[in-house]
Amino acid sequence: MYASPVKKLDASIEAQNPTPKLKFIKSVIYREGLSWICKMVELSLYSYGPRTSVEYGGGTFDVGPDVFIAVEGVGTFEGVSVERKIQSLLLAGKDPAKTAAKVHRESTQRGHASITTSLSFQLEVRECSRALSMLLVAPPFGSYLQESQRRASITHSSLKTPPFTSKHHIKIFEETAHRLVDGYKQLIENGVTLEDARYVLPLCTKTSLFISCSLETYVSFIQHSNLGEYLPHEVSEFAEKFYSLAKNVAPMMVEARLMVKHPLVSYPFPNPFKPSDPFFTKILEGKNFDEPLLLHLQNLLPDKLFHDVFAANVKELVDTVNPLINAVTLEPLSLVAYHQAIRHRTVPTAVESIYAAAERALKSPERNIIPPPDVKTNPRNMKLFAELCGEALECYHRLIEDGCRLGDAALILPQALKVYVVRAYNGFNLLYPSGFVATRTCSYAQWEERAIAYKVLHEVVKRAPELETVMGEKCRQLGYCPEKTWCPIILKYHKYSDELHQRMQRS
């Protein structure tokens, strides 16, 4: 690199070529390259940005995210490219890093989210628990690819043990978790599919996921992940690792963003690891049900105009529909289905406390555990399933009675546990082929989500019959089946055949 007297453009430039094996103080945490490994979580950064190189004075200067984003922010006033802006600063003898620091102090610290959402990360979280992944995929501004328990078989090595302080509690927890895996294997031997057998698995089951996100995605994790009573230990560990990663990449921006300390300045996302929620206590008062309830439907669509617009199939006009119709539902979900539902991030979701759900299940397990179809149809499987879920709940109860943290004890809860959520579906999720109703009514969708999507469809059409002609499975709207193998659903709406399906697959 060209040797220049000009100071480094960005304090984060050093992060682009980190010194390997830089150890942290805690013995269980260390870094090699940009990979953090700790007792419960492994986090690896694959790429980040934006960053670039700028030619100046016969040399090349690396520009990290702090300077890049700050200069682009200034550029919104001056209308010049990042390269030209940096070059002009250098020609004027100014230090771009000082300019960046000023921008972050004045803009980022005031809460301009367009700056903190411009800093992007592509990272992988390996072998975390399903409890942590349930939180990591909840923020709406991110993209998540997660290892599927519908297809991958679980073994005894797939379990994680929270850091209990007592060997006795570790023993109780691990013995129960291993018995749940044994029961899972027995269900599979009895003919239950992987998709349905996973319902008995505890939240301590390992998973891995790839995440594409911004700094803003996990700011609330950094600021508010103090352990307390309710959060699993992994949340604090992930927050520490993500903070170290982000500060290494863009220290100015991170410092400025964390100066904004009010708890409500970050985007809301559903978090079941919380105290009993008074809103849900009120909503659920006197209720115990197994199907979604339509709480409210707002329909501002004029009948004839609405049908004319959809018939014209002009996207720019149809898109106006999105905010004009909204359905708010109260839904019972297993933790399996809940974990999938929150990944449909265009559906705002609120969830009750998992601890309130567990208390309900301890009092009445048969009403608060959701058995999947492959289990319910066989009395022997149903008996085993109920025994396994009961054992998990009893272990949870013993741990909290012994004074263990709720956030640690929760990892033994079975994924069949029923929780209630409130969800808000807009026009996109009710009417579009890529929205919730259309994609989740597909025969390839997970059975529980599919049943909910059909119930939402039927309840909305009951209240607004004029929507019946445009709501339905995605194949109805697309005119063909996008899956590898088609099913008879499409025949309700279109003439279809193997020949036509193969032709559509090739086109």
Residue corresponding to tokens 């209240």: 463
Q: In this structure, what token pair is assigned to residue 208?
A: 């891995």
Q: Given 59, 77, 106, which residue is the final one in a domain?
A: 106
CA distance 421 to 39: 32
Which residue type is seen at 250?
Answer: A
Beta bridge partners of 206: 129
Report CA 465 to chain centroid distance, whole Å.
Answer: 33
Q: Are residues 340 and 471 in the same domain?
A: yes
Residues 405 and 361 in one domain: yes
Q: At what angle are helices 251-258 and 96-106 packed, to 10 degrees?
A: 20
Same domain, 417 and 288: yes
Residue 62 CA from chain centroid, whole number: 33
- Cα distance between residue 272 and residue 407, in whole Å: 11
Q: Is the dihedral of CA 454, 137, 315, 502 positive or negative?
A: negative
Burial of 80 (0-12, 13-18, 19+ CB in 10 A): middle
Q: Note whether 416 and 369 are within 8 A (CB).
A: yes
For residues 483 and 459, state if they share a domain.
Answer: no
Asked whether residue 220 is assigned to any structural domain, the reply reads no
DSSP 319: G
Per the domain annotation, does 196 fall within a domain? no
Same domain, 406 and 363: yes
Q: Is residue 150 part of a domain?
A: no
Six token digits for residue 433: 């082929």
Domain-embedded: residue 188 = no
Dihedral over Cα of 36, 41, 44, 45: its sign: negative
Q: Specify the pTM.
A: 0.88
Which residues 6+ apart lie within 8 Å of 175 measured at CB?
none
Report residue 366 as tokens.
């048969």
Domain boundary among 87, 106, 125: 106
Tokens, residue 276: 């009993």
One of 440, 450, 476, 503 is an active-site residue; which one? 440
State the amino acid at position 462 in one-letter form. Answer: K
- Residue 455: which CATH number? 3.30.1360.170
- In a 13 Å sphere around the CA of 183, the CA atoms on its Cβ side amount to 27
427 and 306 in a common domain:
yes
**Domain enclosing residue 495, as ranges:** 477-507
Considering the domain architecture, whether residues 300 and 399 belong to the same structural domain is answered as yes
Quick one: CA dihedral 362, 365, 370, 376, positive or negative? positive
Same domain, residue pair 32 and 94? yes
Instruction: Specify whether 360 is catalytic.
Output: no
Helix (H, G, I), strand (E, B) or coil at 30: strand
Structural domains in the chain (count): 3
Continuous H helices in 94-232: 96-106, 113-116, 130-136, 167-189, 194-197, 219-224
Preceding peptide of 50 cis, ω within 30°: yes
The closest of 254, 260, 265 to 66, measured between CA atoms, is 254
Sheet holding 120-129, edge to edge: 30-32, 35-37, 42-49, 120-129, 206-214, 142-146
Residue 298 and residue 437 share a domain: yes
- Structural domain includes residue 271: no
Domain membership of residue 297 (yes or no) is yes
Of the three residues 43, 72, 106, the one that is the final residue of a domain is: 106
State whether 31 and 67 are in the same domain: yes
Q: How many residues does the chain have?
A: 507
Name the token pair of 411.
């990892």
Q: 439 in a domain, yes or no?
A: yes
Reduce the DSSP state of residue 192 to 3 states and report it.
Answer: coil
Domain shared by 291 and 436, yes or no: yes
Q: What is the pLDDT along the chain (507 residues), one digit of tens a residue?
A: 333 333 333 433 334 433 333 323 232 333 333 443 446 789 999 999 999 888 877 778 889 999 999 888 875 455 568 888 888 888 888 888 888 898 888 887 777 788 889 999 999 999 999 999 999 999 999 999 998 887 788 999 999 999 999 999 999 999 999 999 999 999 999 999 999 999 999 999 999 999 999 999 999 999 887 768 999 999 999 999 999 999 999 999 999 999 888 888 888 999 999 999 999 999 998 887 889 999 999 999 887 788 888 888 889 989 999 999 999 999 999 999 999 999 888 999 999 999 999 999 999 999 999 999 999 999 999 999 999 999 999 999 999 999 999 999 999 999 999 999 999 999 999 999 999 999 999 999 999 999 999 999 999 999 999 899 899 999 999 999 999 999 999 999 999 999 999 999 887
The number of angstroms, rounded, from the C-alpha of 15 to the middle of its chain's C-alpha atoms is 27
For residue 434, give both structure tokens. Answer: 């890529």
Query: 96 lies in a domain?
Result: yes
292 and 337, same domain (yes or no): yes
